[in-house]
Chain A
Amino acid sequence: MAERGALDYLVFETLAERTVALANVEKLKNPLLGYNAMMEDRFTACLKFCSDQGIKVLTNMGAANPEAALKKTVQIIQGLNLKPTKVAAVIGDDVLVYCLAHLQDLKIMETGLPLSSLKGEIVSANAYLGADHMVEALENGAEIVITGRCADCSLFLAPMIHEFKWRQDDWNLLGQAQVCADMLECGANVSGGFFADPGYKDVPDLGNLGYPFIDIEASGRCVISKVEGTGGVISPAICAEQMIYEIHDPGHYITPDVVVDFTGVELKQLGPDCVEITGGQGKARPDQLKVSIGIKEGWIGEAEITYAGLGCLNRARLAEEVVRRRIDISGLKLQELRVDYIGLNSLHADASTLPQVEPYEVRVRFACRSADKINAQKLANEVETLVGKGPCASSLPRIQVREVLAIYSVLVPRADIKTHVVYEETR
């Protein structure tokens, strides 16, 4: 896309809810890390095209360490011998110190309780920043803008505000722009990814999926499409799926930059893989920003074993009985235990439709949560020893024990979050 998309801006949006918390853990181990591990590969692949064509780049690949990402990017640019480039990093989404100082008065959105009610080590607190500082960086001539945690859509909104000199309180215009940004923020999920259902929603050449881009005018008129010759599909149907994805009240979707109203949005097919987006509206942005809190909250132990052939389901059920008995005898301390029969009910539990005949094979999965590593490990070990002490004729078990890094959200007044931009220019 960088090569053939005739782009003005290229955005890499790479952070899921927990990614920054994981990156913070990595940064604690090594202060030079904590940015996206794929950044070097991605920039090495595309920055030459961007430099040659004057395409500006925005990304949240800074994750927990935008400053380190900035330094790394400068090295990559020098390594590629590109023309002088101004790189910016937005600093200040890390509000761990602030949150630790306000444990009593910050309320957890999920539980309504104060932050101090959480048990476990808080390892990160990152605010979802808006477009403001990215716009500032672009105004100051930055060609590459790197952020940590920010609202996904803000990465797309910032270039629009910068190019069109939009007032940052023209809420209806920002609402429409945000709808367009929302289409792009999951990458190929609007151009054929996570959409195909053979015979119902067919997607051509899914293995060679093209990424989407938008053409937007100062009026907010917007058309979404993808590079010709790539696989995938862009239609009103997939745009509607992407638009509703992860919103709650469509008339009141809160972002740092604007509160969006999706209810009037219309999607019109203009041609093959080409859809016009109109009708987005907005209201004034909120005074508080959402902050994701990462906390170490115990351990998860998992183990799986497969039975096949005649009587497989009975052997699988006996395996469950054996493990439950072993948990009792050994006195394992588990906060929660879950047993799934993969192939029968592992994703939808009691809401699953069960087959009329016995399946040819079934995989039993045990998963537990415990306060410490030892109990999670012991559960996994009990499943592992089924091969010696459980029912006959199974696969070898696979086990995994991992630490839980849970995420909670709090709201912090915008004015309390101090952000700034740093720059470096390559020669």
Chain B
Amino acid sequence: MRFYLRELAHARAGDKGDTCNIGVIAYQSSFYDLILKQVTPERVKEHFKSLVKGEIRRYELPKVHAINLVMENALGGGVTRSLSLDPHGKSYSALLLSLPIDVDDANAQVLLQQGRKPLVG
């Protein structure tokens, strides 16, 4: 079954110059493997379309079952010069959480029991 990443993880975005980073933390450790396998720099780059013009690097923090995505040239030329209403990219965490994730049966059961809804179609 497919679910939005939002059902599996929470996230917060930060800024430095024209670089945005998003910390993505699994709600429980059994979801971490799905995140490692599917929240790849390639998929994230595709998901963010024209917003991220540079490279995306991914770092792992396994003890808190989290990843950190570091996205270059992602803030419209930099926080202080950007024309965006969200020059810091703080809302980017919400965009990332709309990434669809294929979830195995065992974890899908967990999510359904929590009242989370799978994606249709």
B16 on interface, CB distance cutoff 8 Å: yes
Task: Determine if A241 and B10 form an interchain contact, defined as CB atoms under 8 angstroms apart.
Answer: yes
Which residue of chain B has its CB nearest to the CB of A302?
A: B83
Contacts across chains A and B counted by CB atoms under 8 Å: 127
Closest to A17 in B: B79
Pick 18 A–B contacts, CB within 8 A, sort by A: A17-B79, A194-B90, A237-B27, A241-B10, A244-B14, A244-B23, A245-B21, A248-B16, A248-B68, A249-B57, A250-B59, A342-B85, A347-B84, A348-B95, A349-B49, A351-B95, A367-B83, A404-B80
Main SS class of interface, A: mixed
Chain B residues in contact with chain A, CB under 8 A? 6, 10-12, 14-19, 21, 23, 25, 27, 47-51, 57, 59-64, 66, 68, 70, 78-81, 83-86, 90-92, 95, 98
Asked, given contacts A279-B63, A353-B98, whether A245 binds B83 with beta carbons under 8 Å apart, the answer is no
**The residue from B6, B14, B95 contacting A246, defined by CB atoms under 8 A apart:** B14
- Shortest Cβ gap from B85 to chain A (Å): 5
Known contacts being A200-B10, A237-B25, is A266 close to B63, with CB within 8 Å? yes
B17, B50, B91: most-surrounded residue (chain A CB, <10 A): B17
CB neighbours (8 Å) of B91 from chain A are 347-348
Residues 281-311 of A at the B interface (beta carbon under 8 Å) = 297, 300
Residue contact B59 to A251, C-beta cutoff 8 Å: yes
Cβ B59 vs Cβ A297 within 8 A: no
- Once the chains bind, are B12 and A194 in contact (CB under 8 Å)? yes
Tell me if A262 is interfacial: C-beta within 8 Å of chain B: yes
Q: Within 8 Å CB of B23, what residues of A? A: 240-241, 243-245
Which A residues touch B6, using CB under 8 A?
Answer: 200
Name the CB-closest residue of A to B62. Answer: A263
Which A positions have Cβ atoms within 8 angstroms of B?
A: 17-18, 109-110, 194-195, 197, 200-201, 236-237, 240-251, 262-267, 279, 297, 300, 336, 338, 340, 342, 346-351, 353, 365, 367-369, 404-409
Q: State in angstroms the CA–CA spacing of A427 and B50 once bound together.
A: 61
Having A241-B11, A248-B57, A262-B61, one finds 9 other A-B pairs with CB under 8 Å, namely A197-B10, A240-B23, A240-B64, A251-B59, A265-B64, A347-B86, A348-B95, A369-B83, A404-B80
A110 touches B63 (CB 8 A): no
In the complex, are the beta carbons of A350 and B83 less than 8 A apart? Answer: no
Contacts of A348 in B (CB 8 A): 51, 91-92, 95
